[in-house]
Structure formats: structure tokens, C-alpha cells
């Protein structure tokens, strides 16, 4: 994927809003219609719809219309993008730790050598 980074932008930004996170939380326990989802929020429907569209464009949810009702559902796979990024980060941290460790080991070895030479004198 060449637009991996842009996708991440979208996913993280979608998650950067409490309304949208709440919607995702709700969808975690099963699909729901727009008005069901909107009910808990003191917000005009068109404003709420923007959040839904944002979530859909980020790929975190899917929506489908049947009759006059649009049903939204979670796209769980998309969440793994976040997990993926997190583990990349941890991998970098780990690599650093490993480098530091080998430095320490090298230094310890050096010190032992010094000591030995001192004794052999």
C-alpha cells in the first residue's frame, strides 16, 4: 500500500473525537441505524451524519441503506491498523534497548580485560 500513511491519518483522526469514539463503542455490541446511534447525542442530525461519514471514509465502519433506514456496522479489521502502528513503534523501542544492551555488554567485557591485564602485570 502506498497510501498506508494517509489511511492511518484518517483512522487516527476519526478516533480523535469523543462522539465518534462513542459511536464505535456502541457499534461494538452490534449494528445500528443512524437515528439509534444519534439518539444519545445533543446534536442536530446533519452534524451527527458528518461523523458517520467521517467514520465510513476512514474505513472504521460500513453502512448500507435498506428502505429509508441506513444501518451502520463496525469494520473491525480497520482497528488492526492502529495495533499495527503501535507494534512498529514498540519494535523500534526494542531495537534501541537491544543496542544499548550490547553496548553495556561490550563495556563489561572491556572492563574485565582491563582488570585481567592489571593482574597479569
H/E stretch holding 22: helix 18-28
Tell me the three cell numbers of residue 37: 446511534
CA neighbor of 64 nearest in space, from 74, 73, 54: 73
CA neighbor of 81 nearest in space, from 14, 23, 31, 19: 14
Cβ-based nearer residue to DNA, 2 or 120: 2
| Least Å from the CB of residue 112 to DNA | 35
Residues that bind a copy of itself (CB under 8 A): 5-6, 8-10, 12-13, 15-18, 21, 24-25, 28-30, 74, 76, 79, 82-83, 85-86, 88-89, 92-93, 95-96, 99
Residues lying near DNA in the complex (CB under 7 A) are found at 13, 16-17, 19, 33-36, 42-47, 49-51, 54, 65-71
Amino acid at each position: 500500500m502506498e497510501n498506508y500513511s494517509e489511511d492511518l491519518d484518517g483512522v487516527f483522526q476519526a478516533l480523535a473525537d469523543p462522539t465518534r469514539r462513542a459511536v464505535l463503542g456502541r457499534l461494538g455490541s452490534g449494528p445500528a441505524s443512524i437515528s439509534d446511534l444519534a439518539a444519545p447525542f445533543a446534536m442536530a442530525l446533519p452534524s451527527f451524519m458528518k461523523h458517520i461519514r467521517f467514520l465510513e471514509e476512514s474505513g472504521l465502519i460500513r453502512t448500507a441503506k435498506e428502505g429509508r433506514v441506513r444501518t451502520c456496522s463496525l469494520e473491525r479489521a480497520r482497528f488492526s491498523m492502529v495495533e499495527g502502528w503501535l507494534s512498529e513503534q514498540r519494535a523500534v523501542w526494542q531495537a534501541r534497548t537491544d543496542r544499548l544492551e550490547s553496548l553495556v555488554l561490550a563495556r563489561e567485557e572491556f572492563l574485565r580485560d582491563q582488570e585481567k591485564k592489571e593482574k597479569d602485570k
